[in-house]
Amino acid sequence: MSPPHGRPSRLKLVTIIVLITVAVLVILGLIGSWEPSAIGYTVITLVGGFVYLCYLIWEIATGRIGLVHWAPTARRQRRLARRVAGRDEAAQQERLDAALSHGAYQTQVATPPDPDPVGQARRELLEAAERHGSVSPEARAAAEKLKRLSR
């Protein structure tokens, strides 16, 4: 069974290579003396070490690992982003649950402001000017009323 991303895991690959190497060494040991198997082991170790060294150089060159500091890979960054998003969703859910625990929302009726005669006269003047024009008798009467109240 392969991992979800479709690539075989590195541990599986290394395990298979080690098992093949051990099998080759046992076969070489059974064929004759241990001398060919010791030479084979040395060659396999050198080749394996060189391949691993090339692999590390490739990882450093592509930025997957660093010598000075560790930086998360793209997969780890996505995992961290999902974890942070999960925490944010959990916090939002907690706030929502806390708000809903107070009961249903009830609107608060605002008390009407105290009647301001000057403000009311200004509104009447504005309405008269909009409806009848600024030189109409209604607008003049509203202007007179505003003058009287402003004094």
**Confidence at residue 67, expressed as pLDDT on a 0 to 100 scale:** 66
Q: Within this chain, do residues 72 and 15 fall inside the same structural domain, yes or no? A: yes
Q: Is 90 among the domain residues? A: no
Q: Within this chain, do residues 23 and 77 fall inside the same structural domain, yes or no? A: yes
Q: Within this chain, do residues 21 and 77 fall inside the same structural domain, yes or no? A: yes
Please check whether residue 73 is in contact with residue 82, taking contact to mean a CB–CB distance below 8 angstroms.
no
Q: What's the predicted TM-score (pTM) here?
A: 0.31
- 56: tokens are 């590390």
Q: Within this chain, do residues 79 and 125 fall inside the same structural domain, yes or no? A: no
Q: Is 122 among the domain residues? A: yes
Q: Is 56 among the domain residues? A: yes
Q: Which domain holds residue 130?
A: 118-150
In this structure, the dihedral spanned by the alpha carbons of residues 57, 63, 64 and 67, taken in order and rounded to 10 degrees, is: 70
List CB contacts of 2: < 8 A, sequence separation 6 or more.
8, 9
Q: Within this chain, do residues 76 and 14 fall inside the same structural domain, yes or no? A: yes
Q: Within this chain, do residues 14 and 77 fall inside the same structural domain, yes or no? A: yes
Please check whether residue 125 is in contact with residue 137, taking contact to mean a CB–CB distance below 8 angstroms.
no
Q: Is 27 among the domain residues? A: yes
**Confidence at residue 1, expressed as pLDDT on a 0 to 100 scale:** 45
pLDDT 10s digit of each residue in the chain, 151 long?
A: 445 555 556 668 878 888 887 787 777 777 776 676 677 778 878 888 898 889 888 888 887 776 666 666 777 788 888 888 888 888 888 888 887 777 776 677 766 666 788 888 888 888 888 888 888 898 899 999 988 988 7
Quote the crossing angle between the two packed helices 10-31 and 34-62, to the nearest 10°.
Answer: 160
Please check whether residue 108 is in contact with residue 90, taking contact to mean a CB–CB distance below 8 angstroms.
no
DSSP H helices, 4-136, are 10-31, 34-62, 74-100, 117-132
Q: Which value, in Å, is the radius of gyration of the alpha carbons in the chain?
A: 42
Considering 83, 106, 134, which residue would you say is the last residue of a domain? 83
Q: What size, in residues, is the chain?
A: 151
Q: What's the structural domain count of the chain?
A: 2
